[in-house]
Structure 1
Amino acid sequence: MLTRASNVAQDDALGAAGSALLAADDVSISFRGKPVLETVSIAVHEGEIVTLIGPNGAGKTTLARVLLGLAAPTSGRVLRRSGLTVGYVPQRFPVERIMPLSVQRFMHLNTGVSKERALECLAETGAAALADVQMTDLSGGEFQRVLLARALARDPDLLVLDEPARAVDFAGAAQLYALIAAIRARRRCGVLLISHDLHVVLGASDRVVCLNRHICCEGVPQHVAAHPEYMRLFGPEAAASLGIYGHRHDHTHSLSGDVCGEGT
């Protein structure tokens, strides 16, 4: 899906975010009186991969929707570079099994791209051989590659990928993140990855932001050697033991996400 962020400020308001493609500035949002995001500031720059991690319910998808102009913040603002084009791969993209929809046709829906361009993008994500396959017959990994190809179809400046390895096994996820890194290197686009899996940050991003309603911590990921099962764990203790961040949490959360004490 391709989208242009709406109801956001333009270049002249990007001073606080520097040379960012897209940024949130002290964004908060509540649903039915319950805070979902609290004074969140985050920016993604050209050629940078930023990974947003956090437990389920931390507000990651809500933040993506706010950044894309699909949800309005209660307070704060979203800033974007003038003329910014965003390629968005949502967390879920249900396709009705009763609907005949080939990959080729899916690539054209609401995009206006040519057949040649669609095939080029499918080839770029390793999905060229799937052009005539029905969307409902794709494996989890194949489906994600097609969604990524569709997001690339109009040369976005920024890719926003919400749980791109969802329904993909560990080996397939490693291949997918290697592909995303290669696309970033080739296109020099910015990338915002969203995940709840801690292992995603290993070698897949330039900067990691930990979110649990507010930003708990952020930093540059370090290379670590650990069993994949441990890398799948998420939490303050796991992050500290794996040495993934060059800093520590200064507080802890209850299961509801409330700040309930100082970290260690």
Structure 2
Amino acid sequence: MALIAAEHLDVRHGRTQVLHDVSVRIDGGEIVTLVGPNGSGKSTLLRCLIGAQRPTKGRILKAAGLRIGYVPQKLHIDPTLPLTVRRFLDLPTRVGTAEAEAALDEAGAGHVMGRQMADLSGGQFQRVLLARAILSRPDILMLDEPTQGLDQPGSAAFYQSLEEIRARLGCAILMVSHDLHVVMSASDRVVCLNGHVCCEGHPAMVSAAPAYRELFGTGTRGALALYRHDHDHADHAAHHHHHHGEEA
């Protein structure tokens, strides 16, 4: 059973057709990455899925009681507005301090609770948005270009946090990515959008698809470089073991 699905979506803005006959589904626990050139309708599709925008045609199906955690693309917070991370996590629904702290820890931003939102680095800001999204214990996490403006190590670290969150919460993840070089190695599927679904499938399969090459070219610029974690495995095992010890 799909957690959420778009069926034959059309979206028009005036005379402009933004999406045409787009069908996408996300099943429980899977990571799906949505790629495509600028203006290809990626954010529009996400807005339709979260219910912020009505399609001109087609429909959105959701599992009963589906909880969606949403991480917006860019959130502008007035730097003159005093807003601590703690207060921000109370929007729109107040949460307990222990709960807020746990979410920040989970998102990899454990030490910023008392800081002003305006003083955070780009990476910390994104992690606070992620913490706020996982406070609702979502069945699916939707992220719109979450690593825009982060450098490569920052992006890689953020993707790794997402994989860990999926492993812990068991939630599905739908991510819009502007970065073709870093499509998560954990992506179960890549959906390539350019107003319509050009191709979709396993990352390695999509990068070889003619429609993908047509959009993104070939050679290294078009390569869907699959990011791999390069920490050594003994270390990783020890790290996991340590975590299990704490839970016990």
Aligned residue-pair number: 217
Structure 2 equivalent of residue 78 of structure 1: 60
Q: Specify the code of the residue in structure 1 equivalent to 2:23.
A: S
| Aligned with residue 218 of structure 2, among 233, 237, 243 | 237
| Aligned with residue 95 of structure 1, among 65, 68, 77 | 77
Q: Is the 8 A contact 1:37 1:213 kept in 2?
A: yes
Q: Is the 8 A contact 2:181 2:224 kept in 1?
A: no
Structure 2 Cα separation of the partners of residues 158 and 75 of structure 1: 24
Q: Is the 8 A contact 1:177 1:204 kept in 2?
A: no
Structure 2 Cα separation of the partners of residues 109 and 28 of structure 1: 32
The Cα of 1:238 is off from its aligned counterpart by 4.8
The Cα of 1:154 is off from its aligned counterpart by 1.4
Structure 2 Cα separation of the partners of residues 138 and 26 of structure 1: 41
| Aligned with residue 174 of structure 1, among 156, 159, 164 | 156
Unaligned runs of 5+ in 1: 1-18, 224-233, 246-264
Structure 1 equivalent of residue 106 of structure 2: 124
Q: Is the 8 A contact 1:162 1:193 kept in 2?
A: yes
CA RMSD of aligned residues (A): 1.9
Q: Specify the code of the residue in structure 2 equivalent to 1:213.
A: G
Structure 1 equivalent of residue 197 of structure 2: 215
Structure 2 Cα separation of the partners of residues 93 and 38 of structure 1: 28
Structure 2 Cα separation of the partners of residues 168 and 244 of structure 1: 17
The Cα of 1:112 is off from its aligned counterpart by 2.4
Structure 1 equivalent of residue 126 of structure 2: 144
| Aligned with residue 53 of structure 1, among 13, 19, 35 | 35
Q: Specify the code of the residue in structure 2 equivalent to 1:237.
A: T
Q: Specify the code of the residue in structure 2 equivalent to 1:128.
A: G
Q: Specify the code of the residue in structure 1 equivalent to 2:170.
A: R
The Cα of 1:201 is off from its aligned counterpart by 1.7
Larger fraction in helix: 2
Structure 1 Cα separation of the partners of residues 200 and 221 of structure 2: 13
Structure 2 equivalent of residue 255 of structure 1: none
Structure 2 Cα separation of the partners of residues 92 and 243 of structure 1: 25
Q: Specify the code of the residue in structure 2 equivalent to 1:179.
A: S
The Cα of 1:121 is off from its aligned counterpart by 0.2
Question: Normalising to structure 2: TM-score of the pair?
Answer: 0.83
Question: Normalising to structure 1: TM-score of the pair?
Answer: 0.78
Listed one character per residue, the Cα deviations across residues 84-116 of structure 1 (whole Å, up to 9, x for unaligned) are: 010000111110011000111100121222111
Q: Is the 8 A contact 2:180 2:222 kept in 1?
A: no
Identity of aligned pairs, percent? 48
Structure 1 equivalent of residue 47 of structure 2: 65
Structure 1 Cα separation of the partners of residues 115 and 129 of structure 2: 14
Q: Is the 8 A contact 1:178 1:204 kept in 2?
A: no
Following TM superposition, the consecutive aligned residue runs of length 4 or more in structure 1 with deviations greater than 4 angstroms are: 238-241
Structure 1 Cα separation of the partners of residues 27 and 183 of structure 2: 17
- Secondary structure at the aligned position of 1:40 is classed as strand
